Amino acid sequence: MHYRNYGGTGYQVSALGLGCMRLPRNVNEEKGEAPVNREKAFELIRYAADNGITYVDTAFGYHGTESEAVLGEALDGGRREKVKIATKQPFGEMKTQGHIRRNLENTLKKLRSGYIDMYLIHNIQKHTWADIKKRNIIEEFEKFRSEGLIRGIGFSYHGQYPAFKEVLDFYDWDMCQIQQNFMDLEREATEEAIFQAGKKGCALVIMEPLRGGSLASPPAPVKAIYDAHPVQHAPVEWAFRHLLNYPQVSCILSGMTTLDQLKQNIEIFSKADAVPGCMTGEDKEMLARVKAKYDSIVMIPCTRCEYCTPCPQGVGIPEVFSLYNEGMMFGAFDQPRRGYMWTTRFHHEASRCVACGACEKKCPQRIEIIKNLHIAHEALKGWLE
Ligand code: SF4
Ligand code: SF4
């Protein structure tokens, strides 16, 4: 396993981090439940901690708020000090300063730890950022840090680059966490976010390196590009190598569900050349062709221009189409369904559409929005958290 500097904190972490949002589950569709399979999760977490992984990431809300407790129990009895724990508090739970403190205390109890190595504001968004500043949340986190309850302050972010840059520049964060993979170089926070975090000396943690696992099983036209390349690696390894190539990246999180995935990833991250500089010019060109091929498979030609928004019913039209296209593009709906579950929680789901037709008149691509929202909803509904 290779270890990398974690921003300006003075310590290093394993280049591979264990994400605790895809722990093994017992899915019971009839009952509408999917609790964590605790025995398998314990085995996974303990194997990671005993085999070189020194960074684990969880959050208040993962697995219906079960993830932190599972992690705490797995590490209890000797493994806590082997790893750095990052966890997150969501803005929606930060109603008052009292709530923020009680949530932290609750998390510490669940983690069975007296402190958290890195405490994040979870999923800062363009529309929540002003309120986050107004409510003095960062100041509250600073108090926790001075009391020794947390050791670093960070944020996670899913969204476009301009808002990311604004958040990054606002404060002297210890770390930030963004979605990146070779498909998202110009999407989400973009590659520029990697460079800016590095320039600031802020520890940078990457999530969704495999787009929820979807980059692991390419469709035939994409596979043909990998197969024709003179250097052979599995698609999973190419996705990791793309990120390992950036010296600015401190840690790459992977939400591994099985012991086999974990072992395979440890092997990849332990290779002698799994370090910055591991991608040649030819490798980068090959991944650019892979990306272009994936992009050409998009089904609903939505450009995310947002001319159709806001929908009076709150439907997140471009977001819904993006999730659907992602599922179609990768031939895997697991990750998009999980994303849609969050869309639903924020009341932006496609089923809220009342077919008023206002959006279709504004769409420059002339997309049949109403019909396609129905198709997307049928494909995306049903995730059990
Ligand atoms: S047709 Fe549906 S999605 Fe479009 S604006 Fe009306 S309610 Fe919203
Ligand atoms: S107007 Fe059309 S292309 Fe633009 S975001 Fe809406 S559906 Fe997509």
Q: How far is the CA of 224 from the centre of ligand 2 (A)?
A: 32
Give strand pairing partners of 14: 3
CA distance 76 to 108: 12
Note whether residue 310 is domain-resident: no
Q: How far is the CA of 307 from the centre of ligand 2 (A)?
A: 6
Note whether residue 302 is domain-resident: no
Q: Which ligand is nearest to the CA of 316?
A: 1
Q: What is the pLDDT of residues 238-272, one digit of tens each?
A: 999 999 999 999 999 998 889 999 999 999 999 99
Token code pair at residue 240: 């990791």
The confidence score (pLDDT) of residue 32 equals 67
CA distance 307 to 197: 31
Q: Do 327 and 233 lie in a common domain? A: no
What share of the chain has pLDDT > 90, as a percent? 71
Query: Which helix (H) or strand (E) covers residue 17, if one does?
Result: strand 16-19
Note whether residue 222 is domain-resident: yes
Mutate to test the pocket of ligand 2, among 299, 300, 304 (most ligand atoms within 8 A of CB): 304
Q: What is the pLDDT of residues 192-243, one digit of tens each?
A: 999 999 999 999 999 989 887 778 888 889 999 999 999 999 999 999 999 9
The confidence score (pLDDT) of residue 296 equals 85
Note whether residue 360 is domain-resident: yes
Residues within a 6 A CB radius of ligand 1: 311-313, 315, 317, 353-359, 369-370, 373
* Residue range 340-353: mean pLDDT, rounded: 90
Note whether residue 192 is domain-resident: yes
Report the chain's terminal Cα–Cα distance, integer Å.
32
Last residue of a domain, one of 287, 302, 325: 287
Instruction: Answer with the residue of higher pLDDT: 191 or 229.
Output: 229
Identify whether the C-beta of residue 207 lies closer than 8 Å to the C-beta of residue 156.
yes
Instruction: Give me the chain's average pLDDT, please.
Output: 92
The confidence score (pLDDT) of residue 92 equals 86
Under DSSP, is residue 187 helix (H, G, I), strand (E, B) or coil? coil
Identify whether the C-beta of residue 210 lies closer than 8 Å to the C-beta of residue 180.
no
Looking at the 3D structure of the chain, how many domains does it have?
2
Q: Do 279 and 326 lie in a common domain? A: no
Token code pair at residue 16: 């591979």
Q: What is the pLDDT of residues 270-295, one digit of tens each?
A: 999 999 999 999 999 999 999 999 88
Q: What is the pLDDT of residues 4-44, one digit of tens each?
A: 999 999 999 999 999 998 899 887 767 767 889 999 999 99
Token code pair at residue 274: 């799994």
Select from 95, 56, 91 the least CA-distant residue to 72: 56
Biggest CA–CA distance in the chain, Å, is 62
Select from 161, 138, 162 the least CA-distant residue to 150: 138
pTM: 0.83
The amino acid occupying position 73 is E
The confidence score (pLDDT) of residue 57 equals 97
Domain that holds residue 123: 3-287
Mutate to test the pocket of ligand 2, among 365, 366, 369, 374 (most ligand atoms within 8 A of CB): 365
Q: Do 270 and 340 lie in a common domain? A: no
* Residue range 177-202: mean pLDDT, rounded: 90
Identify whether the C-beta of residue 65 lies closer than 8 Å to the C-beta of residue 103.
no
Q: What is the pLDDT of residues 144-155, one digit of tens each?
A: 999 999 999 999
Identify whether the C-beta of residue 129 lies closer than 8 Å to the C-beta of residue 135.
no
Give strand pairing partners of 46: none
Q: Do 29 and 178 lie in a common domain? A: yes
CA distance 44 to 318: 36
Task: Judge whether residue 56 has pLDDT over 80.
Answer: yes
Q: What is the pLDDT of residues 64-105, one digit of tens each?
A: 899 999 999 999 989 999 999 999 999 889 989 999 999 999
CATH number of domain containing 170: 3.20.20.100
Radius of gyration of the chain (CA): 21
Q: Do 350 and 205 lie in a common domain? A: no
Note whether residue 136 is domain-resident: yes
Q: Do 42 and 157 lie in a common domain? A: yes
Q: How far is the CA of 313 from the centre of ligand 1 (A)?
A: 7
Note whether residue 176 is domain-resident: yes
Please classify residue 116 by burial: count the beta carbons closer than 10 Å to its beta carbon, then call 0-12 exposed, 13-18 middle and 19+ buried.
buried
Least confident interval from 52-56, 179-183, 236-240, 352-356: 179-183
